[in-house]
Structure formats: structure tokens, C-alpha cells
Amino acid sequence: NKKSIEQDDLLEAIERAFVGLEKKNRKVSDVEKRIVAYHESGHALMAELTRGATRVTKVSIIPRGLGAAGYTLHLPGEEDKLATQKHELMANIDVFLGGRAAEEIFIGDISVGAGNDLDRATTILKDMIMVYGMTDVAGLMVLSRTQSNFLGGGHVSNEFSEKMAEAIDEYIKNTLSERYEFVKKTLNKYRGAMEEMTAVLLDVEVIEGDRVQSIIREFEIENGMESRMAHYKVEDE
């Protein structure tokens, strides 16, 4: 019933499309809130510190849709991306692993909340090996292709030996393990920023990307650290 559409309305429409309607009336225990707050802070921190990742627009621990207890919203920058590079795919993996790593470090246990994150990280690595020729596992060979049938629709065709399948599994397992250790090391190094971000989330439930970036930058300045923020520019100060 408004006479004009504002930026907040557009953002709400995008969030509804991505993660569903807000469910403010859903009762969430303090324990679950704390888990979700650390989980989403882990995603947000890695997104801001990793070159090639998309910067954070908003972090929320308000449930949405059918299963989202919280979410970190990333919206594309000013440049349209027509070709995603290898380092950007790896950056996405680090961001996906940030939630699970945060739970392990700050909660001391892990939950099922990272299931979708791990699935997406695994899928990226599979595509890098089998479709994009970005690893040494299969070199430049394409091992997976989509075949289109006029009436039956498309289906995926995988053509490789059992030995190659074992090599793919081993590479994915080892790479995820290596990236996970790197992410945990990063979160530990930025422990103060993680604690601050989580405290703000538990207090107000939603923080904007600018506040996330401010928390990280303030932590770096206080600790005499050279900024690792991927999107940080000197002129922003």
C-alpha cells in the first residue's frame, strides 16, 4: 500500500526469493540462537577476508522459509561476472566452510546446520575436476557432461574409470580438509572480531554488511594487523 518502492523493499523482495518469508513468531532457544550466530559470523568473516568472495550485504539470525535458522546474504558487486575464475571458486569453498568451522571452534560441537554448505563446497570441487579442467586429477579431460534429449530432457553423463573415481574422491576429501584447517586458523586469528559480531547478532538479530566490515577493520586496527579485508580500500577511511 505504499506510494513508492524504496531500497529496503527491494532488499526484502530479494531475501524472500532467496530464503523465504521471515518467521519472527518461531520460538528459537538461546542455545540454537548462539549456534546460528557463530555459524553465520563464520560465513561473514570469511567472505570479507577472502579475495574473490562476494562481500556481505546482511547477516541475520531470524528464521526464514522452511529450514533457514539464519543466513548471510551476499549480493553481487557493481561489475557483472560473466566468467568465474578458479580463485573465486576456491573463495566460495572457504566461505561455505566458515560456518562449520565457527561452530567447532566457538561452540565446541557441530550441528547439522552445515549440511547444505558442505554439499555446495563438494559440488564446486567436483565441477572443477570433472567439468572445468581446473585440477591435475583429470587434467583437461571433461569427465561429466549434460546431454540434451529433445523430449526426455537433459541428463548427466559421467564417463571415467573406477581408478579415476577414487582419485576424485581423494582429491575432494583432501582439499576440503586443507581448506577447513585454513579457515579454522583464520577464525582463531580473528577471534575477537568473531565474538563482537556474534554479540551484536545475539543482541539485535540482524546486522548490515557495513557493520560487519567495521567490526573486522576495528579489530585489525586495535591489534596492529595489516588489513586482510578483500574489499577494503585505504580511501574508505
Q: Helix (H, G, I), strand (E, B), or coil: what is residue 79? A: coil
68 forms beta bridges with 64
6 in helix, strand or coil? coil
Q: CA-to-CA distance for 202 and 205, rounded, in angstroms?
A: 5
Catalytic one of 15, 22, 40, 79: 40
**Would you call 222 a catalytic residue per the annotation?**
no
At 59, which helix (H) or strand (E)? Answer: strand 56-60
Q: CA-CA distances (angstroms) from residue 37 to 28, 89, 102, 106, 193?
A: 12, 25, 9, 10, 13
Q: Which residues pair with 60 in a beta bridge?
A: 71, 206
One-letter amino acid identity for 207?
I
| Catalytic annotation, residues | 40
